[in-house]
Structure formats: C-alpha cells, structure tokens
A and B are shown apart, each in its own frame.
Chain A
Amino acid sequence: MLVNRKLILAHFWLAFVVFGLALCLGAWQMFVRSPLYTWISNPEWYYRSLTAHGTVMGYVFPTLVAMGFGYAITESALQQRLVGVRWAWAGFWLIVIGAIMAMVPVALGRASVLYTFYPPLIGNAFYYIGVVLVVVGSWIWVALMSINLRVWRRAHPGEPVPLAMFANVAGSYLWAWTAVGAALELLLQIIPVALGLKTTIDAGLARVFFSWTLHAIVYFWLIPTYIAYYTIVPRAIGGRLYSDTMARLSFILFLVVAMPIGIHHTFADPQVGAGFKFIHSTFTALVALPTLLTVFTICASVEIAARLRGGRGALGWIRALPWQNPIMLAVAFSFVMLGFGGAGGLINMSYQLDTTIHNTQWITGHFHLIFGGAIVIMYFAIAYDLWPHLTGRALPNLALARTQLWLWFIGMIVTTFPWHWVGILGMPRRMAYYDYSNPAIAPEALYVSLSAFGALILLISGLLFLFILARAHAQPATEAGEYRFSMPVHPVRSVPLALNSFGIWVALMIGLTVTNYGYPILMLAARQDTSVPAVYVGAQ
C-alpha cells in the first residue's frame, strides 16, 4: 500500500537527477586527466568538479535513495500509512537547501577541499553548513523510521517485524550513528575555523573523526542494495528467500561491526598508534562475515527459483534463470562486481598490504567498483522494480533496461580494472593531470585512456537510465497491484526477540565504537600541542 507516492518519487527523482549531474562531472574528470585531452587544462576547475562529484555521490545521492526506499518499505512492508509525512517533506527540503547551499561555494571555487574535507585546508563555511543540513535532513528520516516501526509494533504486539523494515531500520540506525563522526569534526573543529572564530585546528584528530564516518557510510550506501538482494530479488525472479534468520543476522552484524573499524583508513597516518590500527584491522575482517553470509543465502535463493523453473544439475540450473528479467541481470552483475571489489577490499584492510596501494588510483578504482558498481546497479534495479507501483505505469521497454544494465556493468569493468592496475604501478590519487611525457609515467597512459573510455560508457548508461524512468511517466496507466517483498521458504511465524528488536545491538554498536575510538580520540583531544594553523582555500 503505497500512499505517499509523491513523497517517494520526489526522493528518487532528486536522487537520480543529482546522480546524472555528478556523473557528467565524473566523466569529464576522467577525460581531462587522461592523455586523450591535450589542450591546456586548469587544475583549479578539476578540483571544483571533484569536490562536487564526491559530495553529491557520497552524501546526497545515496542518502536520498535510502530515504525514498525507506518510505516505500514502511508503507508497503508494514501495510500502514507513513506517520509524519510533513516531517518527511521537511527532511526532503532540508536536503535540497543543504545541497544547494553546499554546491554554490563549490561552483565558485571557494570550497575545493574535496568531500573528505582535509583540514587544515578550510573552504567557505556555507559548504560545510550545507553538508550538515543534508545530514540533519536525513536524521529526520531516521527518526521517522523508528517512530513508524514503533507505531506498527503497538498495533502488532509480538509479531515478527517484516524483514525489509527490520533491515531498513537497522540501516537508518547505522547511518545516524556513523554520521556522528563527521558531524563532530564539522561542528567542533571545521565550522568554527571556517567562520573565523578560531584559526587553528588539529588535523590528526579531524582525520580520526572522519574515519569513524568514512567506512560505515559505505555500509549505509550498501543497505538498500542488500535489502534488494533479500527482499526484492527472490520475489522478482519467482523464487523464495532461503532463510529469513540469516538475513536478519547479516543486517545486525553490519549494524554492530561497521563502525569500530574506520581506523583502517588511517593505517598510514602518524597520529594513531599501531595497536588500535591492528584492532581496527581485525574488526574490518569481521565485517566480511555478513557479506559472505549474504552471498550464500542469495545464491541459494536464486537456485530455488531456477529449480522451480525446471533447472537441473550442479550448475546447469544457472541456465534456467530468467535472464530476460532486468532484476536477475542486475543482481548477477552486482555479485560479480561485489566479488572483485570485496577481494580488493580485503587487501585495503590488510595491516601489511595496504601500504602498497594506499592513496593510489587502486583505492579510487576499488570504491567505484563497490559503490558505483555493485551498489548503484541495485539502485537501478530498485527503481525499475518500484517504478510501476509509484507511477501506476509499466516500464516502457525491458530490452532498453537490460541494455542499460549491460552498459553499466561493462562500463564499470572497463573503468575500474585499469584503474586498479595503475594504482599498483603507484599512480597517486586526486591529481588534475599527469605528465605522460615522463618515461616513468608513460606506461600508465594507455590504462588511463581505457578508464576514460569506460567512463563514457557509464555516462551513456546513466543517461539512458534517466531516459527510461522519464519515459515511464508517459506510458498508459496500468494497475501494478500491491507492492510485495519476497517470501521465505518457510513462513516466519515467530522470531527470537534478539532478531526482532534493536536495543541490544544499538548498545553494542555504541559500546564498540566507544572502546575502539574512545582512547585514540581522547588522547588526541587532550593534547594541547597538536593544533596547527588553518590554510584557507579559495579561487584567487
């Protein structure tokens, strides 16, 4: 029962429009830093574009998708009208205002600090305040998810919370807590300096605060994708979910161990000691567990669909899958990219191997493959799946949707594989251009060109996606029926309290963050000798 379709559509449309804009910037960046672009370039424009691309793709786009999808789940999984619609619109408009407020100084070249902020570089205060507004807007959504679940529980005492809603609320709590790290950095450290109230800042402490957000934010981006794996894919391809319990366990594991691992982003930093780096490395290994469990459960669920369709043999069933279905295609592509990206991730979190690829193009290749690839392709699938229910019109052309997904997959592989390779060769990140005439850099030229070509394919695919969604609004009206989620093999009659509530897990999440971050943060905060002068940036 999707009542507030306008609200959900507004979130998805804004998400995908800003995604399209940031995608254009990304493709342009890939081009101007490649040897294909031979005219004089102005690095200053590159860093403006890079800041905008990162801020939109990192903070605005996935947050809006999670919010829109969260509202859709609340109404369809809980079968109740959304409580607090006015607040939901307030959150939406806060994000609009925040995003514009942040992007104006970026466009003017007054905040080219990248979305990771990098103090003591300090940009225009409105950039940071805009980002804070975006986060505050999303926190309204977090509160609404919690309130709506409570309303439902009161009406359905003791019943198991539908899996989609359980995962959705877990994702919202994860986001609420992980955003606190960057919020502390912005509110306590950066914004006072940007406003001119202070002129010094502890860059090391800021990096530790940011790492608290920087890793778990990836799991926040990931949660809608995992919700789609568990609750959309089996239904869409005519199968059943293998296990509801395993799904709940995976989301709980993400909630608990996503946060206390961020210091693996600072392995190469001088402001954290080796002990805490090792602890965080260990916890990062743990976070592979929910993904390994998910891969198993989803493969088993997909196999059920294939066997129901007459698939036979140890692997022969793969042929019996409904490959004409865009959702099937998307999940297969997503898994391939998750496999490669996950393997790369194990290298990044490794205490020893990290130094070989830290801050090289390998890292950029890695997170584009995981986020842009495995995660975003499922955002496409979610949109394709929900669109008929939101617009009341069928998608215009499934073949076009399949082409779009193929292009995204091919584009992502062509972009990120050479990107990883030049990283191994030692090519540093975030540079506006490279001197390809230098014999030591020349071997990288071919691979950077390949990546730029991949980016062009991605751009075409992204624009095609927007075209398909827009065209759908002009289709003749049809009744899409009720929006439903996949059923497990065995109906869930009761769920242990621990797998049906969040209290203990949220306590563990906060507790582990305090034990793993408390000491490094307090030690740095207590020192008086680590504040350094701010360096203000701006177009000259």
Chain B
Amino acid sequence: MTAEDAHDDATIVRTERRWATISVVIIVVLILLAAFAGIHQATMPQGRVETIDPTRLHLSGEFVESNLGTANEADGTVTVRAIGQQYSFTPACILVPVDTPIKLRATSADVVHGILIQGTNVNTMLVPGYVSEQFMRFEKTGDHLMPCQEFCSFGHEGMWGKVRVIDKAEFASRAKNGGRLSCVGE
C-alpha cells in the first residue's frame, strides 16, 4: 500500500472540510458563551476608562487619606477606596460586610501594582494615572490575603494586604459613627 492509494484527493478534502467545520463551530460556541455571560450576567472587565493625577492623590479628591477605607452608601451598598504604593496598600486591611454589594475603587500612587483577593475572582491592575473599579460581594465571613500581583520593584514580595469580611450587624454597629472603616492594626 502506498500513501497515495489510501488517500485520494477528494477524501482528503472532504475530511479536512469536516474537521475545519468542527473547529469553527467550537470557536463560535466559545465566543457566543463569552458574549452571553458578558451581556446577560454582566460579567466583564472594567467598562470605562477614568484618569487621575497620581502626584496629587494625597492633596485633594476621593483618594485623600481621610477618605480611604470602607464607606457606607445611602442605598445599602458599600464603597471601598484604596491605593497601592511601593510596597503596601492603604488601608493594609480592608474591612467589608458579608452579603453586601461592594464597589472597589483603587489606584496607584507610583508604579504599576495589582490587587488580587485570594479565594475570589477579584483581580485588577492598578496603573498610575488611572482608576480601577471592581464590583464584588462576599458570601462568607472570614479573612482573605490580598497580595500585590504585579512586579513593583525590589520590595514586591513584601506587599501583602488583607481583606476581612465580617457580619453585617457588626459592620453596621462599627459604621454608626460614620467615617471610613478599615481593620488596620486589628
């Protein structure tokens, strides 16, 4: 038997066309899945681009020190504001209530950093000059490590923060006096 006998041109073309069709179908299904999940469940990366001047973060605007941490909103949600700088997060321990829609707004004061909350799919880059925004919700109380996930120079390996998820009632009682909450030093 020779190779030519077993494979006439027409057979080759037919099998190839069949395989190519299967491949295209696989790819189209993947794309449709992503589109469906993106539109229907609104699971998608950050939608819009927002800029900020990293050299003036500490002087005015939403990322001044007194405004960092967790804030209660009128609609029952909370907003967390944080900054990353070589080599720590402020606040280093983020305090949030369980079962509550949370908006995380964060930026960098110097180089590129990243926020990753272990055990969740919360994961975003902090690029100086831009504001990162993520929406999240924790279903269980407990602690999560929050490492910087992008190389930010020689101290990168020491840049670990924490997220503490606490009971709703406990959070409400701590939030009574207003101000911005965190669990730094606890």
| Most A CB within 10 A of own CB, among B7, B47, B129 | B129
Q: Which of B81-108 contact A (CB under 8 A)?
A: 86
The reply to whether the CB of B178 lies closer than 8 angstroms to some CB of chain A is no
Selected contact of A359 from candidates B1, B116, B128, B129, CB within 8 Å? B116
Query: B133–A270 contact, CB under 8 A?
Result: yes
Query: A203–B127 contact, CB under 8 A?
Result: yes
Query: B16–A307 contact, CB under 8 A?
Result: no
| Most A CB within 10 A of own CB, among B55, B123, B132 | B123
Give A289 to B31 CA distance when docked, in angstroms: 13
Taking CB atoms, residues of chain B closer than 8 Å to A425 are 118
Taking CB atoms, residues of chain A closer than 8 Å to B47 are 273-274
Give A278 to B33 CA distance when docked, in angstroms: 12
For A334-364 the 0/1 string (1 means CB < 8 A from B) is 0000000000001000111011101110000
Taking CB atoms, residues of chain A closer than 8 Å to B15 are 300
Query: B50–A270 contact, CB under 8 A?
Result: yes
Query: A285–B149 contact, CB under 8 A?
Result: no
Give A529 to B56 CA distance when docked, in angstroms: 12
Taking CB atoms, residues of chain A closer than 8 Å to B130 are 204, 269-271, 530
Query: A535–B110 contact, CB under 8 A?
Result: yes
Taking CB atoms, residues of chain B closer than 8 Å to A438 are 145
The reply to whether the CB of B153 lies closer than 8 angstroms to some CB of chain A is yes
Selected contact of B53 from candidates A293, A523, A529, CB within 8 Å? A529
Taking CB atoms, residues of chain A closer than 8 Å to B44 are 274, 277-278, 351-352
Nearest residue, chain A, Cβ from B20: A293
Nearest CB of A to B153, in Å: 6
Given the known interface contacts A359-B114, A489-B12, the answer about A285 and B27 at a Cβ–Cβ threshold of 8 Å is yes
Query: A537–B153 contact, CB under 8 A?
Result: yes
The reply to whether the CB of B112 lies closer than 8 angstroms to some CB of chain A is yes
The reply to whether the CB of B48 lies closer than 8 angstroms to some CB of chain A is yes
Nearest CB of B to A282, in Å: 5
Query: B149–A360 contact, CB under 8 A?
Result: yes
Nearest CB of A to B151, in Å: 4
Query: A489–B26 contact, CB under 8 A?
Result: no
Query: A428–B49 contact, CB under 8 A?
Result: no
Taking CB atoms, residues of chain B closer than 8 Å to A240 are 3
The reply to whether the CB of B185 lies closer than 8 angstroms to some CB of chain A is no
- Among listed A114-122, A318-326, A389-397, A405-413, interface-contacting one: A114-122
Query: A286–B19 contact, CB under 8 A?
Result: no
For B53-97 the 0/1 string (1 means CB < 8 A from A) is 111000000000000000000000000000000100000000000
| Most A CB within 10 A of own CB, among B20, B47, B117, B125 | B125
The reply to whether the CB of B121 lies closer than 8 angstroms to some CB of chain A is yes
| Most B CB within 10 A of own CB, among A114, A240, A268, A273 | A268
The reply to whether the CB of B182 lies closer than 8 angstroms to some CB of chain A is no
Nearest CB of A to B59, in Å: 15
| Most A CB within 10 A of own CB, among B2, B47, B51, B126 | B51
Nearest CB of B to A399, in Å: 30
Taking CB atoms, residues of chain B closer than 8 Å to A242 are 7, 12
Chain B: number of interface residues, binned into ranges:
35 or more
Nearest CB of A to B38, in Å: 6
Give A121 to B127 CA distance when docked, in angstroms: 12
Nearest residue, chain A, Cβ from B27: A285
Q: Which of A36-66 contact B (CB under 8 A)?
A: 43-44, 46-47
Nearest residue, chain A, Cβ from B8: A490
Q: Which of A510-535 contact B (CB under 8 A)?
A: 523, 527, 529-533, 535
Query: A532–B128 contact, CB under 8 A?
Result: yes
The reply to whether the CB of A441 lies closer than 8 angstroms to some CB of chain B is yes
Nearest CB of A to B58, in Å: 14
Nearest residue, chain A, Cβ from B24: A289
Give A433 to B159 CA distance when docked, in angstroms: 11
Selected contact of B9 from candidates A121, A300, A346, A490, CB within 8 Å? A490
Nearest residue, chain B, Cβ from A487: B3
The reply to whether the CB of A304 lies closer than 8 angstroms to some CB of chain B is yes
Nearest residue, chain A, Cβ from B50: A270
Nearest CB of B to A203, in Å: 5
For A130-171 the 0/1 string (1 means CB < 8 A from B) is 000000000000000000000000000000000000000000
Give A529 to B1 CA distance when docked, in angstroms: 71
Query: A202–B129 contact, CB under 8 A?
Result: yes
Taking CB atoms, residues of chain B closer than 8 Å to A531 are 129
Taking CB atoms, residues of chain B closer than 8 Å to A246 are 16
The reply to whether the CB of B46 lies closer than 8 angstroms to some CB of chain A is yes
Query: B127–A270 contact, CB under 8 A?
Result: yes
Nearest CB of A to B48, in Å: 6
Nearest CB of A to B46, in Å: 6
Q: Which of A42-99 contact B (CB under 8 A)?
A: 43-44, 46-47
Taking CB atoms, residues of chain B closer than 8 Å to A204 are 127, 129-130
The reply to whether the CB of B30 lies closer than 8 angstroms to some CB of chain A is yes
Query: B149–A532 contact, CB under 8 A?
Result: no
Query: A296–B123 contact, CB under 8 A?
Result: no
Query: A268–B114 contact, CB under 8 A?
Result: yes
Query: B49–A271 contact, CB under 8 A?
Result: yes
Nearest CB of A to B111, in Å: 5
Selected contact of B131 from candidates A47, A270, A278, CB within 8 Å? A270
The reply to whether the CB of B43 lies closer than 8 angstroms to some CB of chain A is yes
Q: Which of B10-46 contact A (CB under 8 A)?
A: 12, 15-16, 19-20, 23-24, 26-27, 30-31, 34-35, 37-38, 43-46
Known: A43-B154, A118-B150. 8 other contacts (CB 8 A): A204-B129, A285-B34, A288-B26, A288-B27, A355-B45, A426-B116, A431-B156, A530-B129
Chain A residues proximal to chain B, CB less than 8 Å: 43-44, 46-47, 112, 114, 118, 120-121, 202-204, 207, 239-240, 242-243, 246, 266-274, 277-278, 281-282, 285-286, 288-289, 292-293, 296-297, 300, 304, 307-308, 346, 350-352, 354-356, 358-360, 425-426, 428-435, 438, 440-441, 489-490, 523, 527, 529-533, 535, 537
Can you list 17 contacts pairing A with B, beta carbon distance less than 8 Å? A120-B111, A121-B112, A203-B129, A207-B127, A266-B125, A267-B45, A270-B46, A274-B44, A277-B44, A293-B23, A346-B30, A359-B123, A428-B114, A428-B147, A428-B148, A431-B157, A533-B54
4 closest A-B pairs by CB: A426-B118, A359-B149, A292-B23, A270-B130
